A and B are shown apart, each in its own frame.
Chain A
């Protein structure tokens, strides 16, 4: 009865890094950062797995930046969190069944998004006492199911940490193509429903009165959120999806309320976070999830501090302007 957990536990980060001898590469000292960022980058890009990681990360960042911006606007970050958690058992089940984890992520996240959308999602602010317990139960049980699938598929146990906390090793060319296709769908659909979605998010009542199909747009967005969550999960792992989906978007929302500028900024921050995270992870033994979350948090805190400073400066200018001019009084 303990075999399951023991086998499960035998893996961990070491074995994860051992994939394809990459661990030797990263720990042998043959890869180390110099003082010239240009040559460092060339060294990094000399490895195909790193090029693929950067491709996948960039594709994911674009999708996450766009979807995340709308998610924050609509106050649906809790739905995003739930979808992310559901992705873990999906991926674990897919691998257990002999499929690629990608299919598990997309299948589970999209199915859960359709389910949430069809039952009528309500914002967590308005939930009753029992509802948060229900959500907690669903999340905990989903994670437990993931654990079961991992335990059932004994050969795969090594990459449990990868499923949960992300891994940039071993992204294949076909995976990059799948990510690209999904991101393309997200961008195209978002381009089509972007304006009505914005209208319906900002003022649902007026939008409905103007004939915007708010219900349909909301449901469509939830499905897009599911697809985006599945994408992000493959880079950051199920538990750290928030980092890429929420942090850049929240940063953008702090800096500007304007939609187009905000969306562009959100994508830019997401790209920055992914590149910095992957670069740092390449040159150290610590996992990519840690660097991505830390970079994201720094961006967010920086924008919050800048916003506060700007507000204070504006208030000070206003005070100075409203104060009666002493020289004018004396003359």
Chain B
């Protein structure tokens, strides 16, 4: 035992004596589970692009709130949820005209930089940390109250996903049949995007606005490559995200120059690469049924109308 001690810069047990480490682990775990679950449906419904868009909105929303002198999280959640609902209501995932979408997003980011400057040069005298924290996350900077809120919101998201898992799955895989069976597919889609907005706000606190997809889409994509069973994939996605957050926090504790966001994303990316390599090497019956499931979902999706 003592012989192995020099291997680690600091024993892991000491990690738990630090209040901010514990808070980061608690909040990170809750956020990871929520992001893993919601992310699975995001990937299944082929709406990763929405998550990408949300990362721009999260940055601008949070900095607009700071510039206005209110809590960062108000702008973060309000921006993400309103945008998610708007995207759901306007319909389609915007791929129809990616030039328009690209233009607007570039401007949204530009607006975010404007708010950042407004905040740092304004009378409030905010410092330059705000922008970096929003962009790349500041999981170690969470206060006790912020941790409690993050955990509560994440719990709400998890409950909502678990409660709506079956109808949401049905509506995602085969919207036409689901609608014929009397399922409110449209309303479900909008509610789901609102949930994605909340989750994006949560993930921003953990890994940062720019890196949302690493926690939202990557574990889910890895999980859906590993198993065709949707419920198993759902659980697996949450587990991968959870392992990544724990592993990332421990890694950045051991190697102090490693930013936690980078460590977390490295693990999710590694999981995705391994899953991709495994499913490519063995294109057995599992992989086949997954692609068939996806294909059916894609072919009947009303988005393809245009």
Contacts and interface: CB of A to CB of B under 8 A. Distances in A.
B220 interface: yes
Given A129-B298, A242-B103, A294-B110, A4 B258 contact: yes
B17 interface: no
Given A9-B129, A130-B221, A164-B135, A287 B99 contact: no
A12 B48 contact: no
Nearest to A298: B107
Interface in B203-259: 210-214, 217-218, 220-221, 224-225, 252-259
A7 B7 CA distance: 26
Size category of the B interface is: 35 or more
A29 interface: no
B157 to A, nearest CB: 20
A297 interface: yes
B46 interface: yes
Contacts of B110: 165, 240, 243, 289-294
A289 B107 CA distance: 9
Contact of B106 (A135, A240, A287): A240
Contacts of A198: none
Interface string A221-265: 000000000000000000110110011001001000000000000
Nearest to B268: A137
Interface string A174-198: 0000000000000000000000000
Contacts of B46: 129, 132
B170 interface: no
A106 interface: no
Interface SS of chain B: helix
Size category of the A interface is: 35 or more
A289 B218 CA distance: 30
Contacts of A133: 43, 48, 217-218, 220-221
B109 A240 contact: yes
A78 B218 CA distance: 19
Interface string B71-109: 000000000000000000000000100111011111101
B18 to A, nearest CB: 9
Contacts of A247: 103, 106
A102 interface: no
Interface of B: 20, 43-44, 46, 48-49, 51-52, 95, 98-100, 102-107, 109-111, 113-114, 116-118, 120-121, 127-133, 135-136, 138, 140, 210-214, 217-218, 220-221, 224-225, 252-262, 265-266, 268-269, 272, 276, 291, 294, 297-298
Given A4-B259, A247-B103, A285-B121, 10 more contacts: A1-B255, A14-B120, A129-B44, A136-B48, A145-B262, A151-B257, A240-B106, A243-B106, A291-B110, A297-B104
Interface of A: 1-5, 8-15, 72, 75, 77-78, 81, 124-125, 128-130, 132-137, 139-141, 143-145, 147-148, 151-152, 160-161, 164-165, 239-240, 242-243, 246-247, 250, 253, 285-287, 289-294, 296-297, 300
